[in-house]
Chains A and B, each alone.
Chain A
Amino acid sequence: MRAPHRVAFIRRRIGWVGLVLGALATPLAAQSGRGNNSWPMHVPAQFADADASGVALWALAPFEARRQVLLSAVSLGDLSGQQLVGLAVRRNLAVGMDAVGGRLHVRIEVSETSVEPRDASPRFRDNGSGRHGTFDGIISLPDRPAFGDDPVQPGWDGDDAVRFEFSRPLALRGGLGLCIESVTTQVLDANGEPERPYWPIDAVIPRFAPVVQDLGGNCLQSDDPMPAGVASNTLVPGSTARFHLSTPAGPARTAVLNLGLGLGSQGFDLSGLGAPGCISHLVALSQWNQVLAPLPAPGRRNLATSDLWLPNVAALSLLPLRVQWLVLDSQANDLGVQTSNAFEFRLPLPIDRPATWIESTDPRASSGQILAGRQPVFELILR
């Protein structure tokens, strides 16, 4: 990896004054041990001394974001009478990458919640409120090399862990879950450039594999016969499904996401209406307008996305659902409409999960995407 060059570059840009100020403004010490009266609790417990299944960019990500992680009451047990005084996360052995140091502003608020992970709302305010434990400050993350071929499991007190000690502890009533909210914003260096530390951490990342059947029907000019798709691991009750339409670069156009029920196996051919080659495969129940916009930079592709929250109810699993995009383009054909490929899926039945994750890459957002079952491996520091 090129981390040594990047580190040198960052240090040149920050300068010694910036480093000294950063150290003074750092309220956490990643290396600090736990206080004498505190004890750790790891969630999930089975990963206290072993890596979990995945790696995630949580509050230590190089981009700004607002996130919540909901932990179920069952996964915590009875914590009545305890005080939550901080939490920690640590790196995962398997990622095989350097962790790049730098500074971030992180605000963490942890509150008890009666909202179980299966019932998480995309609206942040619905999931946690009231009394909370708080960490709010600039953290300085160290550069850490990639783990070698025969790595030793990193502990929770060393340089491969980051500890957030709360300025205000949370007195726990017990019997409830936790809502761990984090807001990450960037810190500017001496040259006014945002610092971008990169610190992937150990996380539980479940894999879901619902069957998604492509039905065809695309008449968009595309290098891909299936320009429309969905992140299939989001097609589970209690998640936010994210549908996308990705096409070669072109002018921005309106794209309408249609969700509905089947229109036979062959669909309805729109050729006779002035849209040759276009086939509609559904009767729409709902529609959402989006912009099929060029991606930033030179923009070799256009992208439209649409989020759809799937509540955790069994009724949604009863019928197969279909999705298809319509692109409005008066220059494309006489009808002024083109169809993407359509696809059909059936949601699995809802199940309880010990955790869930809600994320928006806008730190000021009021709602985010729900990723069911996903969570960092936490050390909760109790007293």
Chain B
Amino acid sequence: MKPLVPAESSRFRIDPDPPVAGRSLSVTYIGPAEEVEYQIDDGTAVRVRPDENGRFRIDPVPTGDEIMFSDRLGVPGYLHSDIVEVH
């Protein structure tokens, strides 16, 4: 399914893209918010404060179907991605 908010348009960048369950994910956020959040499926939203260069890491990426990032400042500050399972 084609996401409505392509990763290329977001203030978030993730590496690797798409994220892989069980592996580390590097996230770079370039925007005006000091604190952002991410959520996996219907789990609890996790608040994160990126470092001075906008980076933070999720290690490892939990198992799930989808991950979303938001700076709560609107659509450019939003990123939604599927999570890949590698067996």
Contact = CB atoms under 8 A, between A and B. Distances in A.
Contacts of A371: 32
A253 interface: no
Interface string A53-77: 1111100011101000000000000
A89 interface: no
B15 A2 contact: yes
Contact of B70 (A55, A61, A242, A246): A246
B66 A246 contact: no
Contacts of B9: 62-63, 194, 196
Given A54-B52, A374-B32, A305 B73 contact: yes
Nearest to B75: A296
Nearest to B41: A300
B72 interface: yes
Interface stretch (A124-132, A229-237, A312-320, A326-334): A229-237
A24 interface: no
Nearest to B47: A224
Interface stretch (A14-22, A93-101, A113-121, A151-159): A93-101
> Most chain-A Cβ atoms within 10 A of its Cβ — which of B33, B66, B72, B80?
B72
A297 interface: yes
Nearest to A94: B53
Contact of A295 (B11, B44, B53, B68): B68
Range, interface on chain A: 35 or more
A305 B17 CA distance: 28
B30 A57 contact: yes
A249 B6 CA distance: 20
B22 interface: no
A133 B31 CA distance: 28
Nearest to A231: B33
Interface string B32-63: 11110101011111000000111100000000
A77 B16 CA distance: 46
A295 B33 contact: no
Contacts of B45: 223-224, 246, 301
A80 interface: no
A55 B43 contact: no
Decide if the interface of chain B is mainly helix, strand, loop or mixed. loop
Interface string B9-20: 111010111000
A231 B3 contact: no
A1 B14 CA distance: 9
A296 B78 contact: yes
Contacts of A54: 52
B37 A57 contact: no
A57 B52 contact: no
A296 B3 CA distance: 9
Contacts of B31: 57
B24 interface: no
B19 to A, nearest CB: 12
A100 B8 CA distance: 10
> Most chain-A Cβ atoms within 10 A of its Cβ — which of B13, B16, B35?
B13
A298 B73 contact: no
Nearest to A53: B52
A295 B77 CA distance: 11
17 contacts: A1-B15, A55-B30, A55-B54, A94-B52, A97-B13, A194-B9, A231-B33, A231-B72, A246-B72, A249-B42, A295-B68, A295-B80, A296-B4, A296-B78, A301-B70, A361-B76, A371-B32
Interface of A: 1-2, 6, 53-57, 61-63, 65, 94-97, 100, 194, 196, 198, 200, 207, 223-224, 229, 231-234, 242, 244, 246, 248-249, 295-298, 300-301, 303, 305, 359, 361, 369, 371, 374
Given A196-B6, A223-B43, A223-B45, 11 more contacts: A55-B30, A55-B53, A57-B30, A96-B28, A194-B9, A231-B33, A234-B32, A296-B75, A297-B80, A305-B72, A374-B32
Interface of B: 3-6, 8-11, 13, 15-17, 28, 30-35, 37, 39, 41-45, 52-55, 66, 68, 70, 72-76, 78, 80
Chain A to chain B: the 10 pairs with minimum beta-carbon distance, closest first: A196-B8, A297-B80, A244-B72, A296-B4, A223-B44, A63-B76, A297-B4, A94-B53, A63-B9, A233-B34
